[in-house]
Structure formats: C-alpha cells, structure tokens
Amino acid sequence: MSGREKKRIGVVYNPAYQKVGLQSYVSLLKKYGFTPTTKGPYQVIEKPHSALQKLVPKKRRKPPKQALQKLEEDGKEGEVTAQDRQNDAFYTCPVEIGTPAQTLNLDFDTGSSDLWVWSTELDKQTKANAGNHNIFDPKKSRTFKKLIGSSWRIQYGDGSSASGDVGTDNVNLGGLVVQNQAIELARKVSPQFTTSTSDGLLGLGFGNINTVKPRRVQTPVENMITQQDIEKGEELFTCYLGSWRDKDEDDQGHSFYTFGYIDENVTKRSGAEPYYVPIDSSKGFWQFQSESATVNAKTIDRPGNTAIADTGTTLALVDDNLCQEIYSQIPGSEYVSSQQAWLIPIGVPPDSLPTITVAVGGRQIEIQKEDYGFAPVSDTMQYGGIQSRGDLGFDILGDVWLKAVYAIFDQGNKRLGVVQRIEEEQNVNPPE
C-alpha cells in the first residue's frame, strides 16, 4: 500500500445540468421522505381510505396513507412527476471496473451504500435509448464472477428505481484496486436514469443500508479495510468540491476525491489541521453533532441537533428557525410560497451578506457567501442555497456546505474531519 501511487479522482462536471432550485428541493422531499413545514405547492396529504377499507371496523383499520402531492393553483391535488424533480447528476467521477478495465462515470453518494452500474443485462429498448451512457459488460471482464442467488433493488425517494443481479470484480479508485468488490448489475432502470448522465452510483455510506439480498455486501471502502488495501490510519476517503466561481483561486475550481490518503497540498494551503468529530453510522449516514450555528456572530443554540454530510445533495437543509435567522439578515430576501423557498436578490455585494456558520462538533464552519445563491428564478432574484428541512430530525449538508470545506470521511476511526477552506474573494455573480 505504501508504494501505491496516490492519485486524485477528478470530478467530471455535467455541462447539460440545469440548476432549478425547486426541482432540487422536491428531490430531497422524496429522497428523505420528510413533511414540509413551509407554504408551497408540495405538501404531504393524507389519502382517504378506499371503499373496501371503510368496511373494516375503525379499530382494525390501517392508518391512512400519506403521500407527497403537488397542489395546483386551483387547489386540486396532483401527482409529483419526474418533471417536478431534478433527475440528473451535477457531477460524476470516472471509475475503472473489470479486467481489462471498463470506465464508467458514477455518482459518488455518501447518502447511500450500493455500487450499481448500467449493464448489458438491460433490455434492448433501454440500451437503445442509452445515449452516451457507458454500459458495463461483465462478459468482457476475465475477473468478473457471478454471485448466484443475489439480487438488489433500490427504490429512491425521488420515485426512481433500479434493480438487477450481482457479481464481483476489481474496482480501481484512483490507483487503489479493490478486488472482488460486489457490483450490482442493472437489469431494470426507471426512465429518469435514461436522461441522467451518470452510468450508475457508487455509495459511500455505511453497509447497513445496502440493498443486496439475501445478504448485504460490503461497500468499496469497507472492502478496502477488510482486504487491508489501506494502511491503518488511512482507512478513509476525502472530498474536495470546487466551483466555476473559483477559477481565479489557487485551486482553479477543481474538484476531486481521494481514497486512502489525505491530500497534504490542500491542508497546507488552508494552514490548518483537520478538525474531527465522531459520527453516528447507525442510520447508514455520516451523521454528527451540530448543536449551534451563528449568523453575524449571533449564536443560535440548537441542543441535540445533528447533521449529515451528503455528497449526493446540492442544497443545505436546516430547521425553520435557523432559516428565519439567516434570511432576516440578507437585504431584500423573502419567502415566496410559489417557489416554496427563500429567495435572495441577485447582486448583493459580499460585504452586505451575513457571515453564517454551522457547528461540526465543537467547531464552527463558515459557509461561503458565494454559495448563498443557488439558481436564478428571475432576472432579479435567486433561489437560496439554504432551505427548510421540514419535520426532518437532522440537517442535510450538501454541496452548498461541502464547498466550504475539505471533507475527510475517516471510516476506520468512525469520524468526520473538516478543514475550513480559505478563498481570496467571494464571487457572488449569478449562478451559471
């Protein structure tokens, strides 16, 4: 391991990705299944009992089902369709699978734990509509082995699903080869995946939420540890997300992941050592204590609050009280129910924007002002990057927060490390 060439896995940006704030929010409503606590078109509605169920005595009836519905302008309830959600990936990462290697661009997601790929086992029509997707062919890999009797099915909260069977093969992550890694081969995928640019997903959460049956399989990082591909103290991966806004900074806006090492160039540039906080992996997430926040140096106590670091999420979601505190300090901001979101004016200079931090354990981490705005909704207003988590019991800290840190997911020591990133200037020009 010590002689392995340490290579970054570069992030490939999706030029076709269209940022739409409300679609991103609806995807999170579906992914995490929380109930909105703000006014807007998307609400959880209690569905009435069927005529047959009404014949059952009240004491024996099942509780009414609840479902996310879209309320039309005339007040009628409608289904939440694929068009209401963000169905594409903002970025993907190239991963080599098999021998000889086949390269697929996968969505790295710390909020899930399956490694699944487009495969030649998909039906002819799906493959015909695959467009630019790379499709893994297990027959072309001499190291592929079928796992007889194993299957998988993922039903994502956004309504999409994928399923198939399972095999094992070699997976190369930045020069680190994981042998006999479980690969979930897609036989069926929802139409939403056809329009996405990713060739599958690589889950970086914990294995207790893996969907393979009859027995769960280990994630790539878990296998790295089991196979001793990573030395003690290096049983980790890291995430560095840049932005088009940072093209004039030292990092030139580049984004990357590393496996099995911490990039010292990043820590040296920041001038700080990583700060670590213990994580709770019982739900499969990278979940940690976050019991306070500050807005312009005013401390907002949040006793018992936790947060998850989620690379598969674009926005940051926090409780309504913190949202109110944040947007009350941004000149011209307002809550607009038709967008179900807080909006902020385009062009507010950085000096007029508040300084916002959220706690990671005992350390306050500052969110970059340039990420307060997520996507334009008009010529003058933009969708805020921080929105309501509804009745969800924890914060979801996605790219809006991750762009402010170098994140170290230390799986061997069950802890999350963060390094606050320092930038010369805040580019608050409208999002591209």
Active site members: 109, 310
Written as six digits, the tokens of 142 are 């001499």
CA distance 317 to 304: 17
Say if CB 409 and CB 353 are below 8 A apart.
Answer: no
- Give the type of residue at 299: T
Q: Is the peptide bond before 214 cis (omega within 30 degrees of 0)?
A: yes
- Cα separation, 114 vs 312, in Å, equals 13
Using an 8 Å Cβ cutoff, are 187 and 122 in contact?
A: yes
Is the CA virtual torsion 361, 364, 367, 372 positive or negative? positive
Cis amide bond preceding 100, omega within 30: yes
User: 249: number of CA atoms within 13 Å, CB side?
Assistant: 19
Residue bearing tokens 């805040």: 426
Phi, psi of 84 (to 5 degrees): -80, -15
